[in-house]
Amino acid sequence: MMSSMGILGLQIQQRLPVLGAVSHSCLTNSPKFVHAAAVNSVSSLSRTLKKWNNGGRLPRRLVLGLGASFWVQYTNMAGNSKSFIASARQKGAIEQVLQNAEWPEQFPFKDEDFQRFDESPDSSFYEAPRFVTHIDDPAIAALTKYYSEVFPPSNTPGVSMLDMCSSWVSHFPKGYKQERVVGMGMNEEELKRNPVLTEYVVQDLNVNPKLPFEDNSFDVITNVVSVDYLTKPLDVFKEMCRVLKPGGLAIMSFSNRCFWTKAISIWTSTGDTDHAVIVGSYFHYAGGFEPPQAVDISPNPGRSDPMYIVYSRKLSTA
C-alpha cells in the first residue's frame, strides 16, 4: 500500500506536462464556476515528495501561469466534463487516502501554492449577493443526509454551531435548529437570508483568519465547498481548533466545482483525491485534532456533482 507521505506529493512535479495531456484541468459549464478534474493516478507522488524533502525545485504557481488560450481550450471542452471526471475518478480512493496517514514532519506547501489567478480583494468579488446554489440538487441532498447522521439532535440544549464561509443557505436538515447557529461569510445580504442562522459575522478570512469567538464555543463547524478559497488555511484551522469544544466536530465538504479565479493554485492544479489530502493536511498541521478522515458521499457518480467530506474532531482534554 502506498504511504501517505507519497500521496502528499500531490503530483506537483508532473503538473505542467500532464496538463498538456488534459489530465489535471479545470473544466467549466459556466463562465465563472468550474470543475476541477480528478487525478488519474497517485503513483508518482512518492517520487515528488522525495524531491521536496531533498530540496528539489518543482514547478509551482500553475494557475498563475495559465494563459488565455489555454483557458479557452478547456472551456470549449465543457460539454464532456462530467464523463471525463467519471472515468478519471478512482472508486474508493477518497476513503482510503487518509487512512493510517504518515505525514511529513513539516507542512509541505509553499506560499505560492495559496496564490490565486485573481488576487484582487475578495470583498469586491463577493460584493454582489449570489442567491444560487453551488452544487446540484443530488449533491445537496447527499450533504444534508450526511449532516442528519452526524449532527447533534435538533434543539439540543447548549449546542452551538458555526457555518464558516456561509451564504443564504447552509444545507442543514429541514427544520434543524439549535440555540446558536452562527454564520460567517462575505456577503451580508446572503447571510441575512439564511433561515438557520441565529446570528452572523461578515469577515474575510483571507485578510483576517482570527475567529471572533471565545475558546471552546462550538460543538460543530461546517464549511461547504469553500475550503479551496482559503489562502491562510493553517491559521484558520488553528482558530477552528481553538473555538471548538473538546470533542467538537469540524466538517469540510467539497465537490469538483469552484470559482476558478479565486481558488488556490494547489487546488485548481490537482484532483479530487489530492483535495482530500490537502484538507487532511490542514487538520494535521494545525494541531489539536484527531487524525482526519475522508468520506465519499457522492450520490450518483458520473451523473451528478460528486460530494466529499474530510472531517476531524478536536482532541478531548484529559
More confident residue, 125 or 54: 125
H/E run at residue 102 = none
| CATH number for the domain running over 83-314 | 3.40.50.150
In the chain, what are the domain boundaries? 83-314
| pLDDT one-digit tens code per residue, 185-218 | 999 999 999 999 999 999 999 999 999 999 999 9
More confident residue, 207 or 28: 207
Averaged pLDDT for residues 305-311: 95
CA-based Rg of the chain, rounded to a whole angstrom?
19
pLDDT at 128: 75
Single-letter amino acid code for the residue at 250: A
C-alpha cell of residue 142: 447527499
pLDDT at 131: 59
- Mean pLDDT of all residues in the chain? 77
| pLDDT one-digit tens code per residue, 244-286 | 999 999 999 999 877 878 899 999 999 999 999 999 999 999 9
Q: Is residue 28 within 8 Å of 85, Cβ to Cβ?
A: no
pLDDT at 67: 29
User: What are the beta bridge partners of residue 253?
Assistant: 224, 309
CA distance 38 to 308: 12
3 state DSSP class of 258:
strand
Q: Is residue 226 within 8 Å of 164, Cβ to Cβ?
A: yes
**Half-sphere exposure in the Cβ direction for 311 (13 Å, CA):** 22
3 state DSSP class of 85:
helix
- Residue in 8, 223, 10 with CA at minimum distance from that of residue 107: 8
pLDDT at 101: 85
285 phi and psi angles, rounded to 5 deg:
-80, -15
pLDDT at 134: 74
| pLDDT one-digit tens code per residue, 114-165 | 999 988 887 887 777 775 667 889 999 999 999 999 999 999 999 999 999 9
Averaged pLDDT for residues 228-235: 96
